[in-house]
Amino acid sequence: MHLSADIARAVTVALEEDIGAGDLSAALIPPEKSGGATVLSRETAVLCGSAWFEAVFRRLDPQMEMTWQCQDGDVLDPNQSFVQLHGSARALLSGERVALNFLQTLSATATRTRSYVDAVTGLKAAILDTRKTIPGLRQAQKYAVTVGGGKNHRAGLYDGVLIKENHIMAAGGIRAALQAALRATAPGVMIEIEVESLAELTEAIENGAKLVLLDNFTIIQLQQAVHLAAGRAQLEASGGVDIGTVRAIAETGVDRISIGALTKDLDAVDFSMRFQY
């Protein structure tokens, strides 16, 4: 699904969830009444989600005027005004919560990602997301990760192979699992295998693995893994990663660091909409 189609789908679901058969409170306002609003950031944050925000109000009022002073990826300061709206008062009231929900959630994802990216500045390790996303917002949050300077792991179970412990057991071992993956996937599809020890890493590389996830390795083990791999496979560190440990992990020389917290452990950015009538 293209991002524009995903935005339309997400906005439809969110508005149906909130408005249902109609906004009983907004119905108190005369339908012909117009108004304006300004959105402020109450804290420092990376802006993300403007397309979702706009789509909410365009759905409720196709003539809604929106003027942005910032764009996705810009850093907002506390008490900074960054978008003004003018249009149907009913639409402004009905769309406020849904539009801000998208904006504060995606900005939170982008802001958290930027903090991790900044923490590994000067090192080669890329910061990646995972599938630990809010249900229904997978593509939106993965977009937010890129806005924050991170990179996307596989979009879902359909576009890449990640052979984990249970897959290895069910297949009959690392070699059998890798061979099955090569037989089952088209050329160019990502195949990654998860290992839990240096011995498993050696076995994976000896059986053709080109991308290996190092699950909950210590710093010393990561250093040893980089030395052992010697460039024969890309190495991805995962597990036990937080803002306090990410630079030390990157300094081991791994190629990638995947972090579930980018999309699941979020503090929504504090945005406020002020109305003028």
Catalytic residues: 97, 132, 164, 194, 215
What are the backbone dihedrals phi and psi of residue 104, each rounded to the nearest 5 degrees, phi first? -75, -30
Give residue for tokens 């295998």: 193
From 108, 134, 96, select the one nearest 48 (Cα to Cα): 108
User: Please, which residues bridge with residue 274 across strands?
Assistant: 38
Q: 252 and 237 in contact (C-beta within 8 Å)?
A: yes
User: Please, which residues bridge with residue 160 across strands?
Assistant: 190
Q: 65 and 87 in contact (C-beta within 8 Å)?
A: yes
Q: How is the chain split among helix, strand and coil, in percent rounded to 5? A: 45, 20, 35
Q: 201 and 214 in contact (C-beta within 8 Å)?
A: yes
The CA dihedral of 64, 65, 67, 72, to the nearest 10 degrees, is 30
The CA dihedral of 22, 27, 31, 34, to the nearest 10 degrees, is -100
Q: Which two tokens stand for residue 173?
A: 């071992």
Q: At what angle do helices 174-184 and 198-206 cross, to 10 degrees?
A: 40
Beta-carbon count within 10 A of 267 CB: 10
Q: 116 and 246 in contact (C-beta within 8 Å)?
A: yes
